[in-house]
């Protein structure tokens, strides 16, 4: 009888241990498969053009719900077909230390955080590498979970892709107008020309609107855009690319 009572009492404990093991195994398998799948796509996109991004899909449904008939324009071109002027321009606009950091510009992040704390309107501290990781693999948002995933993918693309490929993917995937994605589509949309023949001023114009490409136009008479264009155009003259 005593042995029977002892077995009866130990059963719930074994059940709890078994449940914990199942939960642990599920979590472990989820993490393992996430790493395998994410690594697969990072390696794949080192060699294969990115066909579309989550933002393109989101914008499509947003426009559909709002009753807007906006065509998605996106044409992939190799980096050799993208003007060096535009490559330098987006570095000036978005990430001045792109060629030198390892994916994260901690000084810029600290500066942005201090500015936000003081209530100033500054651009975020995200690098081109971080923006590329977010655009290609993730969704828009400000949660800590998404930022953690962004950091994870940033490390992967820095190690596996390298700077030149990151720039190539970035310039082929970012939003450059309402329904306009990538350098080639942007140059055709805004200037009616291919992106290889983009002039310094035209490149500066496209880079100048990147904080809000659905609001601003590169050839507008906006004082804000013209000021940014002038600064970016000067940077292009003084900069040499060193991927």
User: For residue 192, what is the domain's CATH number?
Assistant: 1.10.3810.10
The tokens for 64 are: 């559909």
Residue 2 has pLDDT above 50, yes or no: no
Residue 204 CB-density burial (10 A; 0-12 exposed, 13-18 middle, 19+ buried): buried
| DSSP assigned state of 122 | -
Q: What percent of the chain has pLDDT over 70?
A: 88
- Shared-domain flag, residues 141 and 202: yes
- Shared-domain flag, residues 60 and 103: yes
- Shared-domain flag, residues 112 and 93: yes
| 41/207 Cα distance (integer angstroms) | 28
Mean per-residue pLDDT over the chain, rounded: 89
Greater model confidence, 12 or 232: 232
Pick from 71-75, 108-112, 230-234: least confident? 108-112
| 99/119 Cα distance (integer angstroms) | 30
For residue 22, being part of any structural domain is answered with yes
- Shared-domain flag, residues 68 and 134: yes
Greater model confidence, 21 or 88: 88
Residue 142 has pLDDT above 90, yes or no: no
For residue 98, being part of any structural domain is answered with yes
For residue 7, being part of any structural domain is answered with no
Residue 53 has pLDDT above 90, yes or no: yes
The model's confidence at residue 119, banded by pLDDT at 50, 70 and 90, is: low
| 90/171 Cα distance (integer angstroms) | 9
Spell out a b/e string for 19-34, using b for 16 or more CB atoms within 10 Å of the CB, else e.
eeeeeeeeeeeeeeee
- Shared-domain flag, residues 18 and 118: no
Mean pLDDT of 6-21: 64
| Angle between helix 183-191 and 163-173 (nearest 10) | 40
- Shared-domain flag, residues 221 and 105: yes
Range of the domain at 192: 52-238
Pick from 1-10, 135-144, 201-210: least confident? 1-10
Residue 11 has pLDDT above 80, yes or no: no
Q: What is the pLDDT at residue 173?
A: 96
Q: Provide the number of structural domains found in the chain.
A: 2
- Shared-domain flag, residues 30 and 137: no
């Amino acid at each position: 009888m005593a042995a029977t009572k002892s077995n009866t009492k130990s059963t719930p404990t074994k059940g709890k241990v078994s449940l914990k093991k199942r939960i642990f195994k599920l979590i472990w398998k989820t993490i393992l498969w996430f790493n395998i799948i994410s690594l697969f796509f990072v390696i794949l996109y080192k060699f294969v053009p990115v066909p579309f991004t989550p933002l393109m899909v989101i914008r499509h449904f947003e426009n559909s719900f709002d009753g807007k008939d906006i065509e998605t324009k996106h044409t992939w071109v190799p980096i050799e077909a993208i003007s060096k002027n535009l490559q330098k321009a987006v570095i000036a606009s978005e990430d001045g230390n792109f060629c030198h950091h390892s994916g994260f510009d901690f000084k810029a992040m600290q500066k942005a955080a201090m500015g936000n704390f003081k209530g100033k309107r500054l651009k975020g501290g995200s690098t081109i590498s971080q923006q590329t990781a977010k655009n290609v693999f993730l969704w828009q948002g400000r949660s800590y979970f998404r930022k953690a995933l962004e950091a994870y993918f940033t490390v992967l693309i820095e190690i596996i892709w390298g700077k030149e490929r990151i720039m190539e993917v970035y310039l082929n995937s970012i939003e450059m107008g309402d329904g306009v994605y990538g350098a080639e589509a942007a140059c055709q949309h805004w200037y009616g020309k291919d992106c290889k023949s983009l002039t310094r001023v035209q490149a500066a114009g496209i880079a100048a609107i990147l904080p809000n490409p659905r609001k601003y136009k590169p050839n507008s008479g906006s004082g804000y855009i013209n000021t940014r264009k002038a600064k970016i155009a000067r940077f292009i003259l003084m900069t040499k690319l060193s991927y």
